[in-house]
Structure 1
Amino acid sequence: MNNVLEDPSAPSPAADGRALRWEAHRAERRRTLIKTARRAVHTLGCAASMEEIAAASGTSKSVFYRYFGDKAGLQKAMGEMAVARMQEKIVEAGRTAVSARSGLRAMVSAYLQMAETSPNVYLFVTGQLGDGGPGQIDTALSSFFDTITAMMDSAVRDYLAGREVPPQASATAQYWPTAALGMIRAAGERWIAAPPGPGKPTEEQMTDQLTAWLFDGIGYDRGHLPPTPPATPSNHEKETQ
């Protein structure tokens, strides 16, 4: 005889199975909507409305609202997917990088490629919208940047540990990863906004240039600057002397 008392309020295994299948279906449907929305924004532009996105995706606006709440929720979901893909590339590059410099270059390249692949999608998820709407990728980017900053911080410290650098450079090295990421994002956004032409660098050229600016600056110290020459007195100062 089974002496184990069963809780009558507990869901049955069949109910649990149905709930799991429903959650899996809902998650898959959500991923599909994000992908179709990305294609729609890529074609329509970063200022596309929810109605336009839904129509291009072959569904209704109410479906998108059901899964994402509003346009800001869709921006955030698309941003999280973009960030996840970029992080995968960088983590994989970090595993195979033969040097700190090659690892940094892989990070710069992944960011620029994400932006260049579809500027409309990039501008949509970062909130650089034609209607001035606020960006919703910040939370996802913040988490992503925290992860990458930690990776970069470790690499920078390992790099500096094998070199003679001024004490001031070692003390301020903790700020370098944050400054580097800010520079990559700012330069990248200006780069994708630039009109195509012979004067616009390729993704590879931009990656190499940013890597050089960032990496070759590690260990830099103001003490290496030549002394500031004395100021030349102005005519007024000469007259009053």
Structure 2
Amino acid sequence: MNNDQARSAVPSGTGSPDGRSSRWQSHREERRRELIKSARRAVHMLGSDASMEDIAAAAGTSKSVFYRYFGDKAGLQQAVGEVVLSQMQRRIQEAAQSADTPREGLLAMVSAYLQMAATSPNVYTFVTRYGSGDPEGASGAVSGALGHFFDAVAEMIATPMRSHLGDSREAVIGYWPKAAIGLVRNAGEQWLSTPDSPAKPGQESMALQITAWLCVGIAPELSPPVRG
């Protein structure tokens, strides 16, 4: 029996005073964390379409080990996604807390999102793509962590705008966060997938542009005149 088989084995019985059961569980959890880190590194190097076999080879183990710990590729995506998206959420929250105005807060959050995603576009795509016909079974299993992430970010961006607009605009602000998240995500992902060229905006310019769209729209000069 190799180390992975030994670590993933469940000891018989109901445990013992010497804590063997808890030690086995601790070993298994530590091994799972190691595999998640290895998978993240492999996807970063190999691309978001890396197969389970390729990921396992890069991790120095077998595909069966990954299936034993994560079930299938969707399970691995979900596990990696929980780690990556949690880190992104914390970074976005920290960025929001450093801002003095609602617009500065939006810019800080958009900048943090783009920066984290651009750190490894392969990993970002790996954990945010699901239900795309992946032959290895990647599916909606990832959507739980992903949905929680975008819901949390939507609430983060809504808080300063509620404070700025006041209760009189609550009916409007109730719809805006999810629409804003859709804009940020789709614009950000298109920016990530656009090949580098002189025409492609830099990260700072893209963050400023997205923030402007969120705050004043694409053509503020077309706003209807204020009626007296």
Equivalent residue for 2:30?
28
Report the AA paired with residue 209 of structure 2: Q
Q: Distance in 2 between matches of 1:213 and 1:40?
A: 36
Q: Quote how far apart the aligned CAs of 1:91 are.
A: 2.0
**CA-to-aligned-CA distance 1:155-197 (integer Å, 9 cap, x gap):** 21101129xxxx6x54211111111111111111111111111
Equivalent residue for 1:148?
153
TM-score by length of 1: 0.77
Q: Quick check: 2:15–2:21 contact (8 Å CA) kept in 1?
A: no
Equivalent residue for 1:3?
none
Residues 107/137 of structure 1: CA separation in 2 closer, same or farther (3 Å cut): farther
Equivalent residue for 1:178?
178
**CA-to-aligned-CA distance 1:51-72 (integer Å, 9 cap, x gap):** 1110011111111011100011
Residue 37 (structure 1) aligned with residue 36 (structure 2): no
Deviates further, 99-108 or 31-40: 99-108
Choose from 61, 74, 80 the match for 2:63: 61
Q: Quick check: 2:75–2:142 contact (8 Å CA) kept in 1?
A: no
Ranges in structure 1 where 5+ consecutive residues have no aligned partner:
1-8, 227-241
SS of aligned partner of 2:174: helix
Report the AA paired with residue 32 of structure 2: R
Q: Quick check: 1:126–1:136 contact (8 Å CA) kept in 2?
A: no
Q: Distance in 2 between matches of 1:105 and 1:137?
A: 28
Q: Distance in 1 between matches of 2:101 and 2:24?
A: 46
Report the AA paired with residue 66 of structure 1: R
Q: Distance in 2 between matches of 1:72 and 1:193?
A: 22
TM-score by length of 2: 0.81
Q: Distance in 1 between matches of 2:139 and 2:194?
A: 22
Report the AA paired with residue 112 of structure 1: L
Q: Distance in 2 between matches of 1:149 and 1:123?
A: 20
Alignment of 1:1-241 (within 5 A): 12-14=16-18, 17-127=19-129, 131=134, 133-134=138-139, 136-161=141-166, 170-217=170-217, 224-225=223-224
Equivalent residue for 1:229?
none
Q: Quick check: 1:46–1:123 contact (8 Å CA) kept in 2?
A: yes
Q: Quick check: 2:95–2:112 contact (8 Å CA) kept in 1?
A: no
